[in-house]
Structure 1
Amino acid sequence: MSNTPRDLLKEKLDQLQCHFTWSPQKETIDLEDMMYRLQDSISLNLKYKDQSCNQLAFVNCLQGNYEEAIQNLKEAEKIWRENHKDKFERSIIVTYGNFAWVHYHMGQLTEAQSYLDKLEMICKPLSDGPRYTALIPEVYGEKGWSLLRSTAQYYEEAKECFEKALEEDPDNVQWVMGYATVLFRLEAISGTRENREQSQSVKHLRRVLELDPNESLAMVLLALKLQELKQKKEANELVEQALQKTSDYPKVLRNAAKFYRKEKDVEKAITLLKKALEISPHSSVLHDQLGMCYRSKLLELIVNPLSKDPQSPEFQQKAELFNQCKYHFGKAFEHRPKSAIKSQLDFADICIRNGECSKAEEIYSDLLKLVDIRPESMQKICLQAGLFQFYQRRSEFNAIRLFQKALRVKNDSKVWKQCYEHLEKLADRKLYRNPHDSMALGARGLLHQLVHNKSKAIECFEKALEFDPGNEEYLSALCELRLSLEDRNDN
């Protein structure tokens, strides 16, 4: 092990609680999109501006913009001093940790050590744990917000952070809002435990409004949940109230627009989104929502017979709506190729409807290469790409492979069930035409295996091997099934 001053310093830095030691790194976040979002948050002078400056320093450092990172941290420190005079030392821990790391990356080891010394003095009376940090609510809370601003794969960890922050400080509106927000997002993801317990965020969003009746973002998020629960009157009142209180906050406008789109008032939704886009022109999420609005109008128009007549105004309108959808969905993933999976799938769907199948195939090919994404995201990619292969490319082989890939992703979601049903139909269809089709028999074996019908699975894989001897996939599955049966018999 090396004992150079730089290596010894690095060992100390690794003990810190700050953006440089938390999960999201260069490989897992879309830096350009993250930078735009953080810059918007700072320029709009939104709540938690200090935390946005902290996270922007981290993003700047990852991109090699060290001087900008130092300026971001100085701004964060200034805000902490002005707004948290009574709790400055508790609030500054993450910022000083980031300072130490940025100086380390700049090769300024003495300056990095000076921040470690400051942290040691601050943390000693706060914790009997690590020497240079303190696991207190302020640290857990800031980590929770940082993870929440990243990608969906970190939401569960963000939830745990807010839970720990609230253990010691249950009435802190910032942590309650963070916890309510992460529950709201997890409840929207198929296959999560929160998705099966849909009303938890409602309770916590109501708690936010008890603590801060003017929290307009909590109002629109609560309205969206109540809309799902068919409590329309209160939901409408909350959205109207939120827009009266905050008419220039892009997140409020965006979620209000989502509410109205779901209420079939697409024009009102578009008006709100365009207003939000004027304030935050680089927002990928706003472009995604606009794409969804124009798609709603497009799908309504497509069923009109006049839209097929090149001489009709409806035909021209349809062409314009296709362009609007492609433009906004394209903008939504322009700076988020790793995280804006839904926007890319929506873009591909529009391409298929517009006869641009090669473009759609290119998108599916790129998405299928992604690694370290949430299970339900990979399942959605496989489902849509599989249906494309079956219906547009007439390839049963490729469709089966994609549905199988989705089913091997362990995640009990609606999409998983859809892939199961599609694979079942395809296998039955192939076996009807040819009872000796080894691929269909192998697919049947997998389907039985997934629902723990081991004897039936073994029977199918054995039969598949009769017609495709030496197939490693079937041999491996058969070996695994036989071993599991032996283990069960031994017990």
Structure 2
Amino acid sequence: MSSTPKDLLKEKLDQLQCHFTWSPQKETIDLEDMMYRLQDSINFGDRYQATSYNQLAFINCLQGNSEEAIQNLKEAEKILRENHKDAFERNSIVTYGNYAWVHYHMGQLAKAQSYLDKLEMICKPLTDGPRYTAMIPEVYGEKGWSLVKSAAKYYEEAKKCFEKALEKDPDNSNCIMGIATVLFRLESFSGTPENRTKSQSVQHLRHVLELDPDNSVAMALLGLKLQQCYQEKEAYKLIEQAVHKSPDRPYVVRYAALFYRREGDMERAVELLEKAVALSPHSCFLHHQIAMCCQSQLKPLLKIPPGTSHAFQQKSKLIEKCRNHFEKAREHRRLAIKPQLDFAEFCIMLGDYSKAEEIYSHLVKIVDTRPENVQNICLQAGSFELYQKRSETKAVSLFLKGLRLEHDSKARRECKKKLYQWVDRKLYFAPHDSMALGVKGSIYQLDGDKSKAIEYFEKALEFDRDNVEYLSALAALSLSLKG
């Protein structure tokens, strides 16, 4: 069967480097949340507005808003012409690729081909590779930022993009800020290599400020990192400078508020957050941070005995405010794990087990996320099942799920600790409990201690002869020993 002109055009489009060929697709990102975040970055003077317009065009096209996508690309093109007069063509490769794809989706094949022709002319002197694209720092940088803004699961890929860009252009402040941002985030995840070594983001953030002393986002991020390193004096100065330079940029103010929350200054944190959320009402991050501040203010009030009317009113007000902001954080970004886990803990603290159960039931179904997120879900949901619901079977199943994910996070180690505690207590009172024996066999198996694993699976089978799981594990272990 011969290919149609549309099929042949699609083959060319697939060679492009742009948002339509990069990893994040409709199924893996929260489109509505992404649109709000990109619009905020444009509205509040983000220095990489062309990048945001490009990504917004992609999101609009995915949602069937092709005319809006074209307008977004026109804005991106206008900004690139203004900011990169002598290097416009190099910086327009991603934009022109997006143009070609949007026109293709609109059925305007001739226009799509015209952008491919432009790309061929631009890229020919820049590369010996594909005809319609060139892997130059500008393209790597835009891909890196696109991945950073999409979802946490793409951070490692984003880091590689920025590294490749900086190999060819070491003083590219856009890409230095990009790698600083992605390292800052990776360093906060338990279990990543970046978390286990000395912070690399600090040196990159300092480099950004050397090249661009007015970069308030870099100031705020560096302030937070230095706070973690107990360099409070410099950290405080940087945060104050960042807020002074960008008092109306929610992206800066939110980090400053996080700094003050960690310092224990809840009033200052809430003051900043409420100003920011008035400007960016759909921000999951801002609503989550307000809820966490209110929860910190609430905890001492929960210890006050009933009967004190002022304390009761204050407590009721904080509970309502906290719940409201947790609900909004969850509503605005259903795929954000941490706010929902914190909301569930808040519900448990208040004894609202049905709401906590609803949240955990939603979270345990999420699979397309970072491994440490899955492990945190397993740990918290498992603890809820064990201590509040008294369901040992469900709890053990969740702890094992967290342990089986081979990602050395704090949550994984806690899952293992919970399993050991449960097994030891169970076998102390019921030495012949087949489930406890089988769980101990599973722990040894995951630790690589095959002989101990076989011993415990055999013991478990003495009291549960037909258990398929134990028989299967035993057969696999025996086979591996022979091999």
Q: Same fold by TM-score, threshold 0.5 exceeded?
A: yes
Asked if 1:410 is matched to 2:406, the reply is yes
Q: Deviations over 1:291-325 (max 9, x none)?
A: 111111122322x323xx15532222222222222
- Residue 355 of structure 2 is aligned to residue 359 of structure 1: yes
d(CA) in 2 for partners of 1:300 and 1:193?
Answer: 37
Q: What is the aligned partner in structure 2 of residue 305 from structure 1? A: 304
Pairwise CA distance, 1:55: 0.3
- Alpha-carbon distance between aligned partners in 2 of 1:222 and 1:311, rounded to the nearest angstrom: 43
Whether the 8 Å CA contact 2:283–2:332 is kept in 1: the answer is no
Structure 1 SS opposite 2:150: coil
Aligned to 2:455: 459
| 1:336 alignment counterpart | 333
Deviation at 1:198? 3.7
Question: Could you tell me how far 1:282 is from its partner in structure 2?
Answer: 1.5
1:483 equivalent to 2:482? Answer no
Residue pair 1:188, 1:195 contacting (<8 A) in 2 also: yes
Q: Give the match for residue 196 of structure 2.
A: 196
Distance 2:308 2:299 in 1: 20
Q: Tell me which moved more, 238-247 or 268-277.
A: 238-247
For 1:265, give the aligned amino acid: D
2:413 pairs with 1:420 = no
What is the CA–CA distance in structure 2 between the aligned matches of 1:335 and 1:230, rounded to whole Å? 34
2:251 aligns to what?
Answer: 251
Within 5 Å, give how 1:351-390 maps onto structure 2.
Answer: 351-390=347-386
User: Which range is displaced more, 54-63 or 477-486?
Assistant: 477-486
Q: Deviations over 1:417-448 (max 9, x none)?
A: 10000011111121122111111111101111
| CA drift at 1:2 | 5.5
Two-structure CA RMSD over aligned residues (Å): 1.2
Please give the alpha-carbon distance, in whole angstroms, between the structure 2 residues aligned to 1:446 and 1:276.
49
Q: Is the 8 A contact 2:89 2:122 kept in 1?
A: yes
Residues 214-265 of structure 1 deviation map (CA, whole Å, 9 limit, x = unaligned):
1111111111111111111111111112122221111111101111111100
Aligned AA (1:323): E
Aligned pair 1:391/2:387, yes or no? yes
- Give the match's secondary structure for 2:26: coil
Distance in structure 1 (CA, Å) of the matches to 2:300 and 2:247: 30
SS in 1 for 2:28: coil
Cα deviation for residue 362 of structure 1 reads 1.3
The question of whether the paired residues in 2 share the 8 Å contact of 1:138 and 1:165 is answered with yes
- 1:463, distance to aligned residue in structure 2 (A): 1.0
State how many pairs are aligned: 483
The match for 2:229 is 229
Kept after mapping to 2: 8 A contact 1:310/1:316: no
Match of 2:437 in 1: 441
Tell me, yes or no, if structure 1 residue 19 matches structure 2 residue 15: no
CA distance in structure 2 between the aligned counterparts of 1:285 and 1:393, rounded to whole angstroms? 30
Stretches of structure 1 that go unaligned for 5 or more consecutive residues are none
The residue aligned with 1:70 is 70
Which residue of 344, 347, 360 corresponds with 1:348?
344
Tell me which amino acid in the other structure corresponds to 1:27: E
Aligned partner of 1:212 in structure 2 is 212
Aligned to 1:98: 98
What's 2:86 paired with?
A: 86
The equivalent of 2:322 in structure 1 is 325
How far, CA to CA, are the matches of 1:278 and 1:225 in structure 2?
Answer: 27
Q: Distance in 2 between matches of 1:76 and 1:2?
A: 37
Gaps of 5+ in 2: none
Residues 330 and 343, structure 1, Cα contact 8 Å, conserved in 2: no
Is 1:187–1:198's contact at 8 Å kept on the other side of the alignment?
Answer: no
Q: Determine the C-alpha separation between the residues in 2 that align with 1:280 and 1:107.
A: 36
Aligned to 1:151: 151
Cα displacement (A) at 1:333: 2.2
Distance 1:372 1:471 in 2: 31
**Structure 2 counterpart of 1:330, one-letter code:** E
CA distance in 1, matches of 2:358, 2:375: 18
User: Where does residue 280 of structure 2 map in the other structure?
Assistant: 280
Alpha-carbon separation, structure 2, partners of 1:213 and 1:173:
11
State the Cα distance separating 1:472 from its structure 2 match.
Answer: 2.0
Runs of 4+ that moved beyond 3 A: none
TM-score normalised by L of structure 2: 0.98
Whether 1:127 aligns to 2:127 is yes
Equivalent position amino acid for 1:187 in 2: E
Do residues 142 (structure 1) and 146 (structure 2) align? no
1:322–1:350 CA contact under 8 A, matched in 2: no
Moved more, 353-362 or 262-271: 353-362
One-letter amino acid of the structure 1 residue matched with residue 384 of structure 2? F
Q: Contact (CA 8 Å) 2:282, 2:332: kept in 1 or not? A: no
TM-score by length of 1: 0.96
Q: Contact 1:50/1:77 (CA < 8 Å) preserved in 2?
A: yes
Worse-matched range after superposition: 470-479 or 282-291: 470-479
State the shift of 1:397 in Å: 1.1
